[in-house]
Amino acid sequence: MASTATLPQVDHAHISAMAESVTLPPVVPHHEREALLLQAKTLLKQQDAVLVAHYYTDASLQQLAEDSGGYISDSLDMARFGHEHPASTLVVAGVRFMGETAKILNPEKRVLMPTLDAECSLDLSCPAESFIPFCDANPDRTVVVYANTSAAVKARADWVVTSSIATEVVSHLHHLGQKILFAPDKYLGDYIQRTTGADMLIWQGSCVVHEQFKARELMEMKRRYPEAAVLVHPESPPDVIALADVVGSTSALIKATLELANPTFIVATDNGIFYKMKQMAPHKQILEAPNAGIGATCRSCAHCPWMALNSLRNLISTLESGQNEIQVAEDVRMRAMVSVQRMLDFATNRPSFSKK
């Protein structure tokens, strides 16, 4: 069952306004793209740096990661790869919490980001100054936080999870008889609660991209493409999830385009994922699920405006200047490392872990 305890209010209107006000970088003209890719690749090599890019970043950055020996993935595998790679500098193309996670795992390495302005609506919806007292007021609950949170929030958590292992972790804790305080995504939390039956107190944050997918319009699109499979990220609203053929993390959705026989896919997640989907399944049709958009400034409304701040130009600028370095206070890092390491250990071994 889900707990009915009173939760702190989340200012969704303010967060949406922040997303709408983002000024996106100019599009790189095609004739400049190859020269910028070569310049960035050279700088990465010169500085013993490796690029780790999220599936939602610009296709040019994903290509650069592949071509330079880096990595493209979701936040869990980004964390793993950065931790295991010998490079002395990690360049994290994504949003700020991803850079912080890389620094938590790699205190000895320099961690850079193309921009420090790349926020995350889920992170913003769960500020440590309100989250920590709420956890303290509910000491009977195991605190499980999504990776889309600040280092300070992770430091207060017992477990960190990504969408690829969140259900498994909560199911495991539920079988141990533990009650859960889950933050920050209310839709992911609701999906996990319905899937596992765990007693969950769920923070009320949401993703400005996934929250905009619309069930009625998706049903109509399914009627127009009866051969299509619907792939949905669990940060989406429940009525959208209910229409899915596959619900899963970014990695799971990419895998579905390979494994399912359908010639067409309707995808309800950030359209940055299309680069890898089309690369992996070039013979299949990939369509964007209908959404309400998040403002007039978006080039495509199923794309995070903060992810779109990452560009080849600001990556090059960061490597040349050494700016945009991620720092995490050591006391915060050490406490956050406990919950992050539990995530990595669970994902690697899938054994039974009890709360320590």
| Whole-number Å distance between alpha carbons of 64 and 53 | 9
Per the confidence metrics, is the pTM higher than 0.95?
Answer: no
Instruction: Give the Cβ contact number of residue 297 at 10 Å.
Output: 15
Residues 238 and 272 in one domain: yes
**Residue 331 maps to a domain:** no
**Residue 88 maps to a domain:** yes
Residues 94 and 29 in one domain: yes
Residues 158 and 178 in one domain: yes
User: What distances in angstroms separate CA 248 from CA 74, 173, 257, 319, one per listed residue?
Assistant: 12, 20, 12, 34
With a CB cutoff of 8 Å and minimum separation 6, the contacts of 281 are: 257, 258
Residues 268 and 247 in one domain: yes
Phi, psi of 310 (to 5 degrees): -75, 130
**Residue 250 maps to a domain:** yes
Residues 134 and 114 in one domain: no
Residues 198 and 216 in one domain: no
Residues 98 and 153 in one domain: no
| Cβ–Cβ under 8 Å, residues 158 and 168 | no
Residues 115 and 89 in one domain: yes
Give 10-residue mean pLDDT values along the chain (356 residues).
73 94 90 95 97 96 97 84 93 96 94 97 97 97 97 98 94 97 98 98 96 94 97 97 96 95 97 95 95 53 92 97 97 97 87 45
**Residue 12 maps to a domain:** no
**Residue 253 maps to a domain:** yes
**Residue 316 maps to a domain:** yes
Residues 161 and 98 in one domain: no
| Whole-number Å distance between alpha carbons of 228 and 246 | 12
Residues 107 and 37 in one domain: yes
Residues 158 and 133 in one domain: yes
Q: For residue 355, what pLDDT is reported?
A: 41
Q: For residue 216, what pLDDT is reported?
A: 94
Residues 191 and 244 in one domain: no
Domain boundaries, position 283 = 210-288
Give the domain CATH number at 268.
3.40.50.10800
Dihedral of the alpha carbons of 101, 103, 106, 112, in degrees to the nearest 10: 120
**Residue 296 maps to a domain:** no
CA proximity to 82, closest of 45, 117, 111, 116: 111
Q: For residue 3, what pLDDT is reported?
A: 52
With a CB cutoff of 8 Å and minimum separation 6, the contacts of 146 are: 122, 160, 161, 162, 163, 166, 182, 183, 184, 185, 188
Overall domain count for the chain: 3
**Residue 329 maps to a domain:** no
